[in-house]
Structure 1
């Protein structure tokens, strides 16, 4: 019997869900009463722009037996696990445990990537990689702002973020797009995103060792011209 119960619990794992999460339940939005796979599906479908409060969800619908019930990790009717990862605080389910979810009490939401790999910066107001501990410039509530490139709210975005040398943040994808368009300074404060002293020293060494100024590539001359300008004129 115990084996049967365990098999039932694991039935259809990773078999249901949406583009955001794999899970075996849907949620009923307390704000409008409609049913969605997740809060992101709700937010993307609303015409008036209202967003679902994850903590306010009270009921879920099992996707295996279609039973609506109070939020819980296991269906009260068929016994299937609604999500291998379950957070009662966030009313959050996900079958994809490879994401290494964890709940941050200071953020008030669930994060991914493994608790041991992140720390919560009280001043910045968010979880950052442990590689940035004591190595980043703190800006109060830096993550509780929109990305300066795409304007999506950063704090609970599903996309990976990047912390610049100045402490401002943006999506990592947006950061790479910015570089492709030859933008080498923070779009908020105009601080250089690289340690330009090291960059220019390496550039000078390359110039001296390889070729004279007239033989330089167009790209090399362009980069040097940008960083000969005053900081306030860099974009």
Structure 2
């Protein structure tokens, strides 16, 4: 390939890749010895195999061979093709064996996570208790939950830690996909699917229920019955008067409660 060194390095930039990444190489999957555009291409195909026992995911750090998309030369993992001299990825991580030409994503490798992230290193910090990188806006401003990102989204069940989708940290400290969270709120579901705590400010709703209860007289048989409740928001247990519209926590005034014993008449 003729031209200056920089011209050779940049040849074909953003012109090759798969639907996941713009890059000038494919990878040979060490688990099945096939060529794929990236690990996501491999995982999508492998997880469609008829036999569940054959389904598997590629371990990114195990990749040893790549194939240049410009000259089709297979070689050991490196940023620059040993044959034609192009950069196979403007961004390159030798730990993750990761290539990407679209540097506007501001990729960076987090040693604590052990994988590459996007969004710019200066915009994130690693929370050691939660076990993941979070936006700097959450530094000292979120409830830590042990390894909160190392589980599956409670809505779509995709593994969150290395998901390509944006995630959100809820008030309770649990995490889920941003789009799953928005869909949940759209369907008027305001409790964390994991711990049942309220994830938005519900004070106006509680006030409305107060007014509805005040205006709704219970039948004589139930008017003085009491029930033991557990508050999902503050974890307090109290005995309160039973009402068909809900039971109010005497500690935090939340109606996000559940009965832990059937209603009984006073002695």
The aligned counterpart of 1:99 is: 105
CA distance in 2, matches of 1:170, 1:45: 25
How far is the alpha carbon of 1:4 from its aligned partner?
Answer: 1.4
Query: Which 4+ runs in 1 deviate beyond 2 A?
Result: 225-230
How far is the alpha carbon of 1:157 from its aligned partner?
Answer: 0.1
- TM-score, normalised on structure 2? 0.75
The aligned counterpart of 1:22 is: 22
The aligned counterpart of 2:11 is: 11
The aligned counterpart of 2:228 is: none
CA distance in 2, matches of 1:173, 1:89: 30
For residues 85-113 of structure 1, give each alpha carbon's deviation from its aligned partner in whole angstroms, at most 9, with x where no partner exists: 00000000000000000000000000000
The RMSD of aligned alpha carbons is 2.3
**Equivalent of 1:178 in 178, 184, 196:** 184
How far is the alpha carbon of 1:194 from its aligned partner?
Answer: 1.1
How far is the alpha carbon of 1:200 from its aligned partner?
Answer: 5.1
**Equivalent of 1:49 in 44, 55, 75:** 55
The aligned counterpart of 1:232 is: 257
CA distance in 2, matches of 1:175, 1:52: 28
Bigger radius of gyration = 2
The aligned counterpart of 2:141 is: 135
For 2:176, what is the secondary structure of its paired residue? strand
Q: 1 or 2, which has the higher helix percentage?
A: 1
For 2:67, what is the secondary structure of its paired residue? strand
CA distance in 2, matches of 1:20, 1:42: 11
The runs of 5 or more residues in structure 1 that have no matched partner are: 208-212, 214-224
User: Is 1:72 matched with 2:78?
Assistant: yes
- TM-score, normalised on structure 1? 0.85
CA distance in 2, matches of 1:32, 1:2: 36
For 1:7, what is the secondary structure of its paired residue? helix
For 1:110, what is the secondary structure of its paired residue? strand
CA distance in 2, matches of 1:2, 1:11: 10
How far is the alpha carbon of 1:167 from its aligned partner?
Answer: 0.4
How far is the alpha carbon of 1:141 from its aligned partner?
Answer: 0.4
For residues 118-145 of structure 1, give each alpha carbon's deviation from its aligned partner in whole angstroms, at most 9, with x where no partner exists: 0000000000000000010000000000
> Contact 2:2/2:8 (CA < 8 Å) preserved in 1?
no
